[in-house]
Copies of this chain bind each other. A is one copy, B any other.
């Protein structure tokens, strides 16, 4: 390992001089020759500053921690990617912690990572929504002492949320099907305690009311089996609404399978929109129309927001709405003359 002192003694100057040169000190005028010699020596020996020692002095680790739930859902991949890319651009590395689904911890359970100087701040996408609207957890003290931002969900403390415009996504879906004449809508989504689900459900009720559509909300596990079961359950109780929105890709597969089993034609009898795009949807037997969400942008914005908190540069809640679009692929058509079976 090459240290600062090594190259200092090799060149015959004091370590502090080397430090200044290598950090490109501006105010300090250095003799060009000295600078040259130091730079040459450092390059020759492949000197790399010790991030630990530096962090210890600066009270800055240059690392962020991203806490994500252990889900298969590909949205996390795109989100993570956007965050990693932006973090790299801004000179940070990111640690990933996956939160076990069985025993989800309160967000404050991760503040130790900052307290122990393992990271400068926390990107929190813990599974449950947290205090504020959930009524569950009490305001989390450990957390408030630490720079953090909630990603894709609203946390217990206002002003630290970075979320997407789920209401806009829902409107894209509803306006599309309403425009084709649909009057009854079904939203199949995950558990209502999940913040994104909560916001999509609320937006669906609100916008359906505004458009004069009837709305049914069905909550199920965010898995293939969950989507399958939801359709089964609804078919047992009567005819389906003619337009169906689905909250996660996994559920889309289950919903399609259940409709196929029940011989409900798509888009003949019911129309389907996925509120979560994936390339594979274009290749199914019924290519599925979907709303593409700005996930990478969400990840990047969350990193920016967190760094602002770390730097003490204020910051308020962020709503990401762009780019968002409905990708028309063929699972949506006009409603049938009679309500779908």
Contact surface of A with B, Cβ cutoff 8 Å: 1, 46, 48-53, 55-56, 61, 63, 70, 72, 74, 76-77, 80-81, 84-85, 88, 93-98, 112-113, 115-118, 223-224, 228, 249-250, 253-254, 256-257, 260, 279-280, 282-285
Contact = CB atoms under 8 A, between A and B. Distances in A.
Copies in the complex: 2
A284 B253 contact: yes
Task: Name, among A85, A112, A285, the residue most crowded by chain B CB atoms within 10 Å (CB to CB).
Answer: A285
Task: Name, among A63, A223, A284, the residue most crowded by chain B CB atoms within 10 Å (CB to CB).
Answer: A284
Task: Name, among A55, A74, A88, A250, the residue most crowded by chain B CB atoms within 10 Å (CB to CB).
Answer: A55
Contacts of A113: 93
29 contacts: A48-B112, A48-B115, A48-B116, A49-B116, A50-B116, A52-B56, A53-B56, A53-B117, A72-B74, A72-B77, A76-B77, A84-B96, A85-B98, A93-B95, A93-B118, A95-B96, A223-B279, A224-B279, A224-B280, A224-B283, A249-B280, A250-B280, A253-B280, A253-B283, A256-B283, A260-B285, A284-B284, A284-B285, A285-B285
B283 A115 contact: no
A44 B53 CA distance: 29
Given A72-B74, A81-B98, 16 more contacts: A48-B112, A51-B116, A72-B77, A72-B279, A80-B96, A84-B96, A84-B98, A88-B97, A93-B113, A93-B118, A95-B95, A224-B279, A224-B280, A224-B283, A253-B280, A257-B284
